[in-house]
């Protein structure tokens, strides 16, 4: 009997040892050395590889190592790459509703936004759209407000924006276009050279600590707040749906758990490090500005126009924005009672 038990145990061990590790090659839109945006992708890789006990092997690839950052969608969709570490706003040209899963101008703060994604209809609606192209998206990070942007020249009125060439992503780009800005989408690694050469006059990208790492303050000295276009920004793990469906329930849960951990860590870290970054850039000669109420008013009016345009043009956009608006209406009851004004 003992020999039979030992033989059975050895068979189980052998079966486990011979099982193939699931490999997930993950192309990143952000350099692994970039604080928060890229570092979080490397941390996600390490977390999954650890908690899966080797059953999953995620490999983080730097931008352009597998595909250019702005080609990740198609590569993951057609299965030439397993997954991408990115943001859905990069795919707004494919479906404008995807912008709403990264950031919303004059929109929700991070806590409210993630509440809608996880406990409203956000993730379900996102994957309803992505699923048409054989994709699955998992919310895998969130950062609090971005800065509004870097400008070579001081902006004293809304008229000063007209004619500027500015790197700005997502719905914020559509808003400033209403005010005469030539909005352009550039991947993170392409921004500094374009700003340095004068190909663009201004740029937004992310939070102060991230912008500092990318060195924009060496070229543009006027830094504007608040980040009206992105009060919170979501990151995603974009994975080929066939790859996702081939995973076991345990493996999918491990990936989802690693993403939830990434959301918490990224939010906490982001809130902790911005003050120091702003202070250091001020010491380096940066002038920090806050948009006056008049300019913010023009931006908000332009957003109202963009919103009407998008709702009229895209049923998906109307459906997603309707869900978010309904959720925010209910959340406002709690916000008005529970939070200091």
Q: Residue 14 — very low, low, confident or very high, per pLDDT cuts 50/70/90?
A: very low
Q: What pLDDT is attached to residue 293?
A: 96
User: Residues 174-206: pLDDT tens digits?
Assistant: 999 999 999 998 988 899 999 999 999 999 999
Helix (H) or strand (E) holding 54: none
Q: What pLDDT is attached to residue 72?
A: 98
Name which of 214, 216, 201, 227 is nearest 285 in CA terms. Answer: 216
Report the chain's mean pLDDT, rounded to a whole number.
93
Of the ranges 15-19, 68-72, 103-107, 134-138, which one carries the lowest mean pLDDT score? 15-19
Angle between helices 315-338 and 122-130 (to 10 degrees): 160
For residues 262 and 47, the answer to whether their CB atoms sit within 8 Å is yes
Tally of CB atoms within 10 A around 13: 10
Q: What pLDDT is attached to residue 16?
A: 39
3-state secondary structure of 290: strand
CA angle 234–90–321, rounded 5-degree value: 60
Tokens of 285: 């000669």
Provide φ and ψ at 103, rounded to 5°.
-165, 155
User: Residues 65-120: pLDDT tens digits?
Assistant: 999 999 999 999 999 999 999 999 999 999 999 999 999 999 999 999 999 999 99
User: Residues 243-267: pLDDT tens digits?
Assistant: 999 999 999 999 999 999 999 999 9
For residues 177 and 161, the answer to whether their CB atoms sit within 8 Å is no
Exposed, middle or buried, 316 (CB in 10 Å: 0-12/13-18/19+)? middle
Could you give the residue ranges of the DSSP H alpha helices within the chain? 2-18, 39-51, 72-77, 110-119, 122-130, 170-177, 188-197, 208-214, 241-246, 249-283, 293-313, 315-338
CATH architecture of 149-230+281-312: 3-Layer(aba) Sandwich (3.40)
Provide φ and ψ at 191, rounded to 5°.
-75, -50
Exposed, middle or buried, 154 (CB in 10 Å: 0-12/13-18/19+)? exposed
Pick the CATH number of 20-142+233-273 from 1.10.1040.10, 3.90.1150.110, 3.30.300.30, 3.40.190.170: 3.40.190.170
Q: Is the pLDDT of residue 11 over 80?
A: no
- What is residue 179's DSSP assignment? T
What residue spans in the chain does CATH classification 3.40.190.10 cover? 149-230+281-312
Q: What pLDDT is attached to residue 19?
A: 52
Of the ranges 56-60, 167-171, 253-257, 311-315, which one carries the lowest mean pLDDT score? 167-171
Q: Residue 58 — very low, low, confident or very high, per pLDDT cuts 50/70/90?
A: very high
CA angle 206–211–215, rounded 5-degree value: 155
pTM given for the model: 0.89
Q: Find the mean pLDDT for residues 259-288.
A: 97
Tokens of 26: 């993950």
For residues 269 and 38, the answer to whether their CB atoms sit within 8 Å is no
Provide the percentage of residues in the chain whose pLDDT is more than 70.
94
For residues 240 and 203, the answer to whether their CB atoms sit within 8 Å is no
Q: Find the mean pLDDT for residues 119-123.
A: 97
Q: What pLDDT is attached to residue 6?
A: 35
The Cα-based distances of 304 to 101, 172, 313 in angstroms read 18, 12, 14
- Whole-number Å distance between alpha carbons of 96 and 94: 7
- Whole-number Å distance between alpha carbons of 71 and 91: 9
């Amino acid at each position: 009997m003992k020999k039979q038990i030992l033989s059975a145990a050895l068979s189980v061990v052998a079966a486990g040892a011979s099982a193939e590790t699931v490999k997930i090659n993950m192309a990143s839109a952000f350099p692994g050395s970039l604080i928060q945006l890229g570092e979080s992708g490397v941390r996600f890789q390490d977390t999954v590889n650890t908690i899966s006990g080797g059953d999953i092997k995620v490999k983080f690839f730097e931008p352009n190592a597998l595909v250019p950052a702005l080609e990740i969608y198609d590569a993951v969709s057609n299965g030439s790459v397993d997954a991408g570490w990115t943001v859905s706003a990069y795919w707004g040209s494919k479906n404008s509703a995807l912008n709403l899963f990264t950031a919303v101008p004059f929109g929700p703060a991070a806590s409210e936004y993630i509440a809608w994604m996880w406990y409203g209809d956000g993730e379900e609606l996102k994957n309803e759209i992505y699923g048409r192209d054989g994709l699955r998206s998992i919310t895998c990070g969130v950062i609090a407000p971005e800065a509004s942007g870097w400008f070579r020249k001081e902006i004293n009125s809304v008229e000063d924006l007209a004619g500027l060439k500015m790197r700005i992503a997502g719905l914020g780009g559509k808003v400033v276009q209403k005010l005469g800005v030539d909005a352009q989408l550039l991947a993170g690694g392409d921004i500094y050279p374009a700003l340095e050469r004068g190909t663009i006059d201004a740029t937004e990208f992310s939070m102060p600590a991230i912008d500092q790492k990318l060195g924009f303050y060496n070229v543009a000295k006027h830094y504007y707040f608040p980040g009206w276009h992105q009060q919170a920004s979501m990151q995603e793990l974009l994975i080929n749906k066939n790859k996702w469906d081939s995973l076991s329930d345990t493996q999918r849960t491990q990936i989802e758990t690693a993403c939830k951990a990434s959301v918490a860590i990224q939010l906490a870290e982001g809130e902790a490090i911005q003050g120091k970054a702003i202070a250091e850039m001020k010491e380096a000669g940066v002038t920090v500005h806050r948009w006056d109420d008049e300019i913010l008013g023009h931006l908000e009016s332009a957003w109202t126009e963009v919103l009407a345009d998008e709702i009229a043009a895209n049923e998906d956009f109307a459906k997603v924005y309707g869900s978010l608006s309904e959720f925010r209406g209910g959340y406002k009851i709690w916000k008005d009672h529970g939070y200091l004004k």
